[in-house]
């Protein structure tokens, strides 16, 4: 009996000693963290949380979270570990599960971890690793939410990452809508939400979002531009023109509004109004190349329309045919100086060169048409030959 008691005593001492050793590892890990030496601390604390005697210890898991936050914050340490921020998150969540009453003690560590994931997300976004950045911003927002903080920036950035990531359009809509519904006083979220809706073929939602944006941000130029663009792209040009004319009352000297107005008028078939708007844009900004392209394109389309009308006339209506043909040539000729202006800035603009060549063919200036064809062939690497 005495021997049995002696054996039990030794077993008890062995168990007690193992438990005390692991508690000692927890204390050592804390001390190493304070030096700091988080790499050595990680080895000790990993052993402690795996040991049955301390695997259910709040202090052990909390310490592990602190250790891995320190590792993740230092690139020199972090390179030796796999996803240390995730290990820190897992550890702090485990500690909270073990003793929810001590959650307040961990608040600063959790906020530090949220900031860490935010920084990781920003770095990944900068490297265009949008899916990876999305996950990091989601984790940052989630941890902040655990602490009763709605981090609008983290949620918005998650939405932006999803917007740029492959196959995450629905996710971007979810987060942009969340930010907008939360009342964030930033028009950018509203604009992106409308764009995401449009990309997702939810035209009515895109329009409604921009209507709400116009109400909430009546002095924001970008909201007017985005709203008009949404309506132009969804085929409601009259509504777009209304928005743009309202904008021009506030920002009469803004050439972009004039150009957009020209586009909406052109889509409505209002050639004269479109021409006036494009010219106004160029007058306000003589270097506005997009407006030159639009105006040149307007004249080309007008020339094509008149040519088509002429060719569809009965054979006997010679006089009317000649009149329409002359008007078409005049329209083509009016496009030339605006397209040439673009070539001064960008002499190798292939699309403009091709349009110009077509114009010269239409007006019968084959010498210039062949000259441009040679230039086009040189740029495209194709063979040379006379214009057809």
Give the pLDDT mean for 203-230. 97
Instruction: Look at residue 229 and tell me whether its pLDDT is greater than 90.
Output: yes
Q: pLDDT band at 140, cuts 50/70/90?
A: very high
Q: Which residue has the higher pLDDT, 7 or 290?
A: 290
Instruction: Look at residue 241 and tell me whether its pLDDT is greater than 90.
Output: yes
Q: Which residue has the higher pLDDT, 386 or 219?
A: 219
Question: What is the percent of the chain where pLDDT is above 90?
Answer: 79
Q: Which residues, 6+ apart, have CB-to-CB distance to 263 below 8 Å?
A: 232, 274, 294
Contact 41, 67 (CB under 8 A): yes
Residue given tokens 């909430």 in the structure block: 216
Two tokens, residue 64? 């592990």
Q: pLDDT band at 33, cuts 50/70/90?
A: low
Q: How confident is the model at residue 201, as a pLDDT?
A: 97
Q: How confident is the model at residue 39, as a pLDDT?
A: 84
Q: How confident is the model at residue 363, as a pLDDT?
A: 85
Nearest partner of 349 among 383, 319, 381, 372, judged by Cα: 372
CA distance 83 to 358: 59
CA pseudo-torsion sign 19, 22, 28, 34? negative
Give the domain ranges of the chain: 185-283
Q: How confident is the model at residue 11, as a pLDDT?
A: 37
Residue given tokens 């002095």 in the structure block: 219
Q: How confident is the model at residue 30, as a pLDDT?
A: 58
Instruction: Look at residue 362 and tell me whether its pLDDT is greater than 90.
Output: no
Q: Provide the mean pLDDT of the chain.
A: 89
Secondary structure of the chain: what % helix, strand, coil (to 5)?
80, 0, 20
Q: How confident is the model at residue 34, as a pLDDT?
A: 58
Give the pLDDT mean for 28-57. 79
CA distance 302 to 197: 34
Q: How confident is the model at residue 41, as a pLDDT?
A: 86
Identify the weakest region by mean pLDDT among 50-54, 147-151, 237-241, 327-331: 50-54
According to CATH, what is the number of the domain 185-283? 1.25.40.10
pLDDT tens, position by position, 179-198: 999 999 899 999 999 999 99
Two tokens, residue 210? 């921009």
Q: How confident is the model at residue 3, as a pLDDT?
A: 43
Nearest partner of 22 among 47, 58, 41, judged by Cα: 47
Q: How confident is the model at residue 315, as a pLDDT?
A: 87
Identify the weakest region by mean pLDDT among 11-15, 173-177, 343-347: 11-15
CA pseudo-torsion sign 376, 328, 282, 291? negative
């Amino acid at each position: 009996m005495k021997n049995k008691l002696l054996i039990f005593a030794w077993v008890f001492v062995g168990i007690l000693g193992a438990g005390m050793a692991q508690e000692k590892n927890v204390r050592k890990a804390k001390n190493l963290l304070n030096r700091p030496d988080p790499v050595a601390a990680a080895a000790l604390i990993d052993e402690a949380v795996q040991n049955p005697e301390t695997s259910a210890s709040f202090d052990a898991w909390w310490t592990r979270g602190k250790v891995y936050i320190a590792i993740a914050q230092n690139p020199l340490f972090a390179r030796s570990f796999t996803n240390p921020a995730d290990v820190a998150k897992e550890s702090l969540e485990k500690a909270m599960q073990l003793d929810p009453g001590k959650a307040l003690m961990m608040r600063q560590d959790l906020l530090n971890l949220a900031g860490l994931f935010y920084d990781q997300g920003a770095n990944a976004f900068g490297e265009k690793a949008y899916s990876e950045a999305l996950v990091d911003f989601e984790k940052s927002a989630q941890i902040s939410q655990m602490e009763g903080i709605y981090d609008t920036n983290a949620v918005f950035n998650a939405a932006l990452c999803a917007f740029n990531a492959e196959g995450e359009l629905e996710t971007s809509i979810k987060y942009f809508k969340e930010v907008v519904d939360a009342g964030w006083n930033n028009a950018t979220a509203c604009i992106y939400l409308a764009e995401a809706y449009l990309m997702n073929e939810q035209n009515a939602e895109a329009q409604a979002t921009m209507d709400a944006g116009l109400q909430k941000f009546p002095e924001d130029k970008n909201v007017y531009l985005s709203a008009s663009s949404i309506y132009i792209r969804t085929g409601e040009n009259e509504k777009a023109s209304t928005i743009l004319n309202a904008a021009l009352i506030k920002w009469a000297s803004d050439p972009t509004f004039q150009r957009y107005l020209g586009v909406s008028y052109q889509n409505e078939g209002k050639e004269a109004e479109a021409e006036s708007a494009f010219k106004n844009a160029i007058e306000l900004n003589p270097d506005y190349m997009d407006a030159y392209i639009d105006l040149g394109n307007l004249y080309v389309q007008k020339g094509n329309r008149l040519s088509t009308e002429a060719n569809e006339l009965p054979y006997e209506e010679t006089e009317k045919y000649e009149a329409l043909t002359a008007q078409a040539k005049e329209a083509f000729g009016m496009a030339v100086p605006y397209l040439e202006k673009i070539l001064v800035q960008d002499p190798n603009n292939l699309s403009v060169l091709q349009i110009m060549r077509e114009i010269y063919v239409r007006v019968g200036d084959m010498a210039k048409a062949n000259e441009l064809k040679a230039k086009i062939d040189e740029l495209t690497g194709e063979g040379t030959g006379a214009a057809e």
